[in-house]
């Protein structure tokens, strides 16, 4: 078992080999939508305006709004904008509200494995329990979607020391668990084969922004736009990945969606300079670059 210091080394962005994204573009942009299920009666995490320990019906219903309303409102907006998205989903959604994932697949969106539900934590599992869970999740997505998922993100970003090795064993090509520290993909070591770390946001994830930092809808949208403008500017010096992560029960609220739409419209108005895509296409493109360009452990 490899531990964090052995997985990858330090690499300053300013000293890395240069490359371009498709069509000579320098900034890749993807939007990830979290479609999640919290089992009834089990701790659902914090509510928008208060902690919810022990479990509370109020918090569960707030999150369920995302599956019943917010997800559909977001998909309507994505259709309007002709925007493909990555869908970070629990397999429990297939039992609880499969229509949501069916609709995303019909849109051509990418499904990204996100464990079984939002209560289980991989960091609390034995290696045998986690291996069984990863195999079950992979099998469920493959059977229900007809396509084996290639991307993984651990629920609540709580991977164990074994997670990277286990998902590599199961054939995943990239994970989001390691990508919080960079704006380019990079390889991390695993026992079976190297795993590509996909950039993933904490700062521009709507849950910490809205729930923990109490950013308003206007503030969150402004941060998204400012981040895009600055990354587009700095991508002249190095190719970058701008990742946005949202949740159906948060930005699926109408007043937040209105601000999000304007922010995305601003970004898409620069599509001539930006590769708007989904995570698996970034992973495939990066993995096909010359080996001397790729950032390896």
Confidence of residue 69 (pLDDT cuts 50, 70, 90): very high
198: helix, strand or coil: coil
Contact 257, 218 (CB under 8 A): no
Helix, strand or coil for residue 31? strand
pLDDT digits (tens, 9 = 90+) for 99-149: 999 999 999 999 999 999 999 999 999 999 999 999 999 999 999 999 999
CA pair distance 209, 212, nearest whole angstrom: 6
Q: What whole-number percentage of the chain has pLDDT above 90?
A: 89
Domains of the chain: 23-287 (3.20.20.370)
Give residue-wise pLDDT tens across range 224-250: 999 999 999 999 999 999 999 999 999
Strands 27-35 and 110-113: unpaired
pLDDT at position 43:
77
Confidence of residue 206 (pLDDT cuts 50, 70, 90): very high
Average pLDDT over residues 78-82: 98
The string of pLDDT tens digits covering residues 213-223 is 999 999 999 99
Per the model's pLDDT, the better-predicted residue between 212 and 75 turns out to be 75
Whether the upstream peptide bond of residue 129 has omega within 30° of 0, thus cis, is: no
Closest CA to 264 of 125, 78, 98: 78
Spatial contact of 156 and 88, defined as CB atoms under 8 Å apart = no
Instruction: Taking residues 85-90, report their average pLDDT.
Output: 98
Of the pLDDT bands very low, low, confident and very high (cuts 50, 70, 90), residue 1 is low
pTM: 0.96
Structure tokens given for 195: 């795993």
Residue 68 has pLDDT above 80, yes or no: yes
CA atoms within 13 A on the CB side of 252: 21
Averaged pLDDT score across all residues of the chain: 95
Asked if residue 5 has pLDDT above 70, the reply is: no
* Two tokens, residue 190: 């695993």
Token look-up 């709004």 returns 65
Task: Read off the pLDDT of residues 173-185 as tens digits, 9 standing for 90 and up.
Answer: 999 999 999 999 9
* CA–CA dist 287, 138 (Å, integer): 22
φ and ψ of 150, to 5 deg: -110, -10
Can you give the pLDDT at residue 3? 57
Q: The tokens of 57 are what?
A: 């019906």
pLDDT band at 4 (very low <50, low <70, confident <90, very high): low
Cα angle value 190/184/274 (rounded, 5°): 140
> Taking Cα atoms as reference points, which of 166, 197, 196 lies closest to residue 180?
197
Mean pLDDT across the stretch 52-77? 92
Model confidence band, residue 48 (pLDDT cutoffs 50, 70, 90): confident
Rounded to the nearest 10 degrees, the angle between the axes of helix 254-268 and helix 217-234 is: 20
172 in Cβ contact with 152 (< 8 Å): yes
Residue 231 has what pLDDT? 98
CA distance linking residue 177 with residue 138, whole number of Å: 17
């Amino acid at each position: 078992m490899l531990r964090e210091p052995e997985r990858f080394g330090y690499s300053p962005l300013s000293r890395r080999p240069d490359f371009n994204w498709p069509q000579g573009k320098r900034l890749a942009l993807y939007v990830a939508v979290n479609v999640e299920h919290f089992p009834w009666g089990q701790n659902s995490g914090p509510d928008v305006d208060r902690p919810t320990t022990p479990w509370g019906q109020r918090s569960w219903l707030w999150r369920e709004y995302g599956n019943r309303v917010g997800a559909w409102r977001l998909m309507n907006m994505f259709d309007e904008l002709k925007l493909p998205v990555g869908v970070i989903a629990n397999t429990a959604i297939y039992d609880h509200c499969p229509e949501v994932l069916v609709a995303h697949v019909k849109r051509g969106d990418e499904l990204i494995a996100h464990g079984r539900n939002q209560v289980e934590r991989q960091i609390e599992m034995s290696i045998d329990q986690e291996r069984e869970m990863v195999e079950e999740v992979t099998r469920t997505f493959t059977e229900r979607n007809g396509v084996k998922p290639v991307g993984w993100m651990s629920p609540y970003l709580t991977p164990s020391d074994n997670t990277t090795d286990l998902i590599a064993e199961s054939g995943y090509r990239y994970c989001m668990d390691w990508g919080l520290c960079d704006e380019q993909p990079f390889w991390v070591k695993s026992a079976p084969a190297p795993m590509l770390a996909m950039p993933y946001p904490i700062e521009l994830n709507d849950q910490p922004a809205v729930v923990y930092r109490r950013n308003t809808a206007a503030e969150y949208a402004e941060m998204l736009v400012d981040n895009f403008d600055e990354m587009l500017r700095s991508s002249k010096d190095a190719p970058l990945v701008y990742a946005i992560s949202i949740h159906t029960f948060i930005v699926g609220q109408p007043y937040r969606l209105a601000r999000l739409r304007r922010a995305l419209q601003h970004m898409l108005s620069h599509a001539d300079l930006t590769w708007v895509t989904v995570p698996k296409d970034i992973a495939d493109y990066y993995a096909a670059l010359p080996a001397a360009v790729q950032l390896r452990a």
